[in-house]
């Protein structure tokens, strides 16, 4: 290739290739580790950003995968350097990992900028890690490849397949209704997470891994490989080899993360029946790449691309089945006529070339576009006087009777209020009520926790009710399901109209018309607004205070205002 970079054009050359006082320090300290000139001279330095941690079960294999990436880098003549980063274990980090997504994004960007790195390998997969890594890498703009952590194996209980999250909610309701025993519940706890890897339903992790691959940042098919499959380490080694060539080819993120690539990613999201969380993350990643993606793009594409992946919570199977069915390459081959196949990817080839020859092997797992698994789309964007800047719903995972609904509001001022009330046998609630949860958005949560799938009141669970209309400014887990309207913008904590809803107010939702309205007069809303006092920021110091001050609303992608600016940052001076 004629435009291959020369060694002295490598970014790391400024640290390692020159002859001055500082470079003496850099090299002598590499020698301290046991490296020699042969390790680095004239070689691309590859930074492996690793979100491994003992407390992140989804990433517990990434220590091993980093070694496999290193093997690939060495095979191709590069110099691998592993850089640990915040792990963001979804189920462990409180109050919510979303509070720290931008922290990891910032850490990724600055790790790459401040070190002598020529190309980046991103190791992640648990919900917020994929968008955070991509946001940081896109802002830095080096050649970058993503190694998805991969889904864990299928869960098992009494011969039934268990899905992460989805079956937790399902069997929790059965337990509350008295249909399963304490011993059953204990066995489910032992059977639902059987190997390392991410949640294996179409939760946020599986959605985001697929989306990042669809954007062109992963090797073809990488996102579908189960973490415990031997294809997974081979994929990691291949990523190590490929990133070295990407550096020589100067194949940077801006050549991959284009507007058509983002549209491809949204189309894949819809076809997968992906997590609603992806909406926030795609908007944020696109902004970092200088591409303007809005809720309107999601709404438009949701009307064009049906759900064809038959995976829970919208469908019936799990990610392991999706892999056996042909994985993301096969799904994208089914979508071929809807995608922009000319987009460049990390392979140095176009998306069209990457999916050439891909076929669906299990047609009930990946349906043809002509026979979708649901007549409803994966995402609906609702607008109205209750959500002037938008709210979202996952119509494919909703009981049909609730897609058009009018009912009285039952309002909870915050999560603790809801938790205190929801099990009361004398709660004044019917299946027609609309549960409303306030103060759960980006500033109010804080961090916009996954509280949007409010539990059905125990009294109603016992009567057999399994779905109700629920509205909040929170998010919900991608493994959740039901008539949950989420991401109401602006949020109640900053005085969005949700703040002024009162128990008994009528709420009207029409998903087909994409509307959400509070049936209260403008005059009454103005009166309530005038009587409202803004609450103080949730944090007075530390990272939380910075978060409170700079976080954007859900419709903007929840990035920090100072990170979302698409302006160049100077390379560090070396003195
Ligand atoms: Fe890590 Fe679900 S908890 S992906």
Helix axes 259-272, 327-334, angle to 10 degrees: 100
Average pLDDT of the segment spanning 355-382: 95
Q: Would the CB of 198 count as within 6 Å of ligand 1?
A: yes
Average pLDDT of the segment spanning 86-95: 96
pLDDT at 478: 83
Which uninterrupted H or E stretch holds 264? helix 259-272
pLDDT at 2: 58
Q: Of 362, 289, 291, nearest to 324 (Cα)?
A: 362
Phi, psi of 139 (to 5 degrees): -65, -35
Could you read off the pLDDT of 461-484 as tens digits, one per residue?
Answer: 999 999 999 999 999 988 888 999
Q: Are strands 506-510 and 404-412 parallel, antiparallel or unpaired?
A: antiparallel
pLDDT at 76: 98
pLDDT at 239: 98
| Position in ligand 1 atom list of the atom nearest CA 198 | 4
pLDDT at 69: 99
In sequence order, what are the residues at sequence separation of 6 or more whose Cβ sits closer than 8 angstroms to the Cβ of residue 160?
none
Phi, psi of 262 (to 5 degrees): -65, -40
Which own/partner pairs from 350-353 qualify as long-range (CB within 8 Å, at least 24 positions apart)? Answer: 351/216, 351/264
Give the angle subtended at the CA of 168 by the CAs of 165 and 170, to the nearest 5°.
110
Residue 206 clears pLDDT 70, i.e. is over it: yes
Q: Would the CB of 223 count as within 6 Å of ligand 1?
A: no
Average pLDDT of the segment spanning 211-234: 98
509 - beta bridge partners?
405, 516
Residue 279 clears pLDDT 80, i.e. is over it: yes
Alpha-carbon separation of residue 17 from 8, 40, 410 (angstroms): 7, 9, 67
DSSP letter at 395 equals G
Secondary structure of residue 13 in the 3-state scheme: helix
Q: Would the CB of 205 count as within 6 Å of ligand 1?
A: yes
| Position in ligand 1 atom list of the atom nearest CA 90 | 3
Could you read off the pLDDT of 305-333 as tens digits, one per residue?
Answer: 999 999 998 899 999 999 999 999 999 99
Could you read off the pLDDT of 12-26 as tens digits, one per residue?
Answer: 999 999 999 999 999
pLDDT at 354: 98
Alpha-carbon separation of residue 318 from 86, 213, 465 (angstroms): 28, 19, 25
Model confidence at 169, pLDDT cuts 50, 70, 90, reads confident
In sequence order, what are the residues at sequence separation of 6 or more whose Cβ sits closer than 8 angstroms to the Cβ of residue 572?
113, 114
The rounded Å distance from CA 152 to ligand 1 centre is 9
Model confidence at 547, pLDDT cuts 50, 70, 90, reads very high
The rounded Å distance from CA 489 to ligand 1 centre is 26
158-167, 169-178, 484-493: range with highest mean pLDDT: 484-493
Average pLDDT of the segment spanning 570-574: 96
The rounded Å distance from CA 69 to ligand 1 centre is 22
State how far the Cα of 182 lies from the Cα of 267, in Å rounded to an integer: 42
Average pLDDT of the segment spanning 443-448: 96
| Sign of torsion over alpha carbons 524, 525, 529, 530 | negative
Residue 96 clears pLDDT 60, i.e. is over it: yes
Establish whether the linkage from the previous residue to 302 is cis, with ω within 30° of 0. Answer: no
382 touches 472 (CB < 8 A): no
| Position in ligand 1 atom list of the atom nearest CA 165 | 2
State how far the Cα of 575 lies from the Cα of 20, in Å rounded to an integer: 10
Give the angle subtended at the CA of 119 by the CAs of 115 and 120, to the nearest 5°.
85
The rounded Å distance from CA 164 to ligand 1 centre is 8
> How long is the chain?
575
Q: Of 121, 119, 143, nearest to 69 (Cα)?
A: 121
Residue 1 clears pLDDT 80, i.e. is over it: no
Radius of gyration of the chain (CA): 24
Give the angle subtended at the CA of 148 by the CAs of 129 and 74, to the nearest 5°.
110
Alpha-carbon separation of residue 134 from 91, 331, 408, 462 (angstroms): 21, 23, 42, 44
Best substitution site from 166, 203, 278 to test ligand 1's pocket, by max atoms within 8 Å of Cβ?
Answer: 203
Model confidence at 566, pLDDT cuts 50, 70, 90, reads confident
Task: Tell me how crowded residue 111 is: count the other CB atoms within 10 A of its CB.
Answer: 18
Instruction: State the pTM of this model.
Output: 0.96
434 - beta bridge partners?
409, 469
State how far the Cα of 462 lies from the Cα of 309, in Å rounded to an integer: 32
Starting from the edge strand earliest in sequence, which strands make up the sheet with 119-124, in order? 79-84, 45-50, 119-124, 144-148
Residue 99 clears pLDDT 80, i.e. is over it: yes
pLDDT at 396: 86
Q: Would the CB of 383 count as within 6 Å of ligand 1?
A: no
Burial pattern 225-245, b for ≥16 Cβ within 10 A else e, equals: bbbbbebbbebbbbbbbbbbb
Q: Would the CB of 83 count as within 6 Å of ligand 1?
A: no
Query: With helix as H, strand as E and coil as C, how does 157-197 read?
Result: ECCEEECCCHHHHHHHHHHHCCCCCHHHHHHHHHHCCCCCC
Residue 201 clears pLDDT 70, i.e. is over it: yes
Model confidence at 360, pLDDT cuts 50, 70, 90, reads very high
Q: Would the CB of 88 count as within 6 Å of ligand 1?
A: no
Q: Would the CB of 58 count as within 6 Å of ligand 1?
A: yes
Q: Whose CA is nearest to atom 1 of ligand 1?
A: 126
Q: What is the mean pLDDT of the chain?
A: 96
Give the angle subtended at the CA of 139 by the CAs of 136 and 145, to the nearest 5°.
60
Residue 450 clears pLDDT 90, i.e. is over it: yes
The rounded Å distance from CA 538 to ligand 1 centre is 26
pLDDT at 125: 98
Q: Of 22, 76, 19, 69, nearest to 48 (Cα)?
A: 69
Model confidence at 341, pLDDT cuts 50, 70, 90, reads very high
Burial pattern 266-299, b for ≥16 Cβ within 10 A else e, equals: bbbbbbbbbbbbbbbbbbbbbbbbebebebebbb
Q: Of 349, 492, 483, 357, nearest to 411 (Cα)?
A: 492
Residue 220 clears pLDDT 70, i.e. is over it: yes
Instruction: Quote helix, strand, coil % in the chain, to nearest 5.
Output: 40, 15, 45
């Amino acid at each position: 290739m004629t435009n291959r970079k020369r060694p002295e054009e490598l970014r790391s050359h400024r640290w390692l290739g020159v002859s001055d006082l500082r470079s003496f320090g850099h090299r002598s300290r590499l020698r301290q580790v046991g490296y020699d000139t042969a390790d680095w001279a004239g070689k691309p330095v590859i930074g492996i950003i690793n979100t491994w941690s003992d407390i992140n079960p989804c990433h517990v294999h990434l220590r091993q995968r980093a070694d496999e990436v290193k093997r690939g880098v060495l095979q191709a003549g590069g110099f691998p350097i592993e850089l640990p980063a915040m792990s963001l274990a979804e189920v462990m980090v409180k109050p919510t990992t979303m509070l720290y997504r931008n922290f990891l994004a910032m850490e990724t960007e600055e790790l790459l900028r401040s070190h002598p790195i020529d190309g980046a390998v991103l190791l992640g997969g648990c919900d917020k890690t994929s968008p955070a890594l991509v946001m940081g890498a896109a802002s830095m703009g080096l050649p970058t490849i993503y190694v998805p952590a991969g889904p864990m194996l299928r869960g098992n209980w009494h011969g039934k397949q268990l899905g992460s999250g989805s079956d937790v909610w399902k069997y929790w309701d059965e337990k509350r209704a008295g249909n399963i025993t304490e011993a059953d519940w204990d066995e489910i706890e032992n059977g639902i997470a059987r190997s390392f890897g991410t949640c294996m339903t179409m939760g946020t992790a599986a959605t985001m891994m697929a989306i990042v691959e669809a954007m062109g940042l992963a090797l073809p098919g990488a996102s579908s490989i189960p973490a415990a499959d031997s294809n997974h380490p081979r994929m990691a080694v291949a990523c190590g080899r490929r990133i070295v060539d990407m550096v020589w080819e100067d194949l940077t993120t801006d050549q991959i993360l284009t507007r058509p690539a983002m549209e491809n990613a949204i189309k894949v999201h819809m076809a997968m029946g992906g997590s609603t969380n992806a909406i926030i993350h795609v908007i944020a990643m696109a902004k970092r790449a200088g591409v303007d993606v809005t809720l309107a793009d999601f709404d438009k594409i949701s009307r064009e691309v049906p759900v064809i992946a038959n995976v829970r919570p919208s469908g019936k199977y799990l990610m392991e089945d999706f892999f056996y069915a042909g994985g993301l390459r096969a799904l994208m081959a089914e979508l071929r006529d809807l995608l922009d196949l000319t987009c460049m990817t990390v392979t140095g080839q176009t998306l069209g070339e990457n999916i050439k020859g891909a076929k669906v092997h299990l047609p009930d797992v990946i349906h043809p576009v002509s026979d979708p698994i649901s007549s409803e789309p994966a995402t609906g964007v609702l607008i109205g006087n209750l959500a002037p800047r938008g709210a979202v719903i996952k119509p494919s995972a909703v009981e049909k009777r609730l897609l058009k609904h009018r009912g009285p509001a039952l309002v909870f001022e915050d999560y603790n209020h809801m938790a205190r009330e929801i099990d009361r046998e004398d709660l004044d609630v019917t299946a027609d009520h609309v549960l409303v949860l306030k103060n759960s958005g980006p500033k109010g949560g804080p961090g916009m926790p996954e509280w949007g799938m409010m539990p059905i009141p125990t009294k109603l669970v016992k009567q057999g009710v399994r779905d109700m209309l629920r509205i909040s400014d929170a998010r919900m887990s991608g493994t959740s399901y039901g008539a949950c309207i989420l991401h109401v913008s602006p949020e109640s904590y900053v005085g969005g109209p949700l703040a002024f809803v009162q128990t008994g107010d009528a709420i009207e939702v029409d998903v087909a018309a994409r509307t959400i309205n509070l049936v209260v007069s403008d005059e009454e809303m103005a009166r309530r607004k005038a009587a409202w006092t803004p609450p103080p920021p949730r944090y007075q110091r530390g990272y939380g205070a910075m978060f409170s001050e700079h976080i954007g609303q859900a419709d903007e992608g929840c990035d920090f205002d100072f990170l979302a600016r698409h302006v160049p940052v100077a390379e560090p001076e070396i003195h």
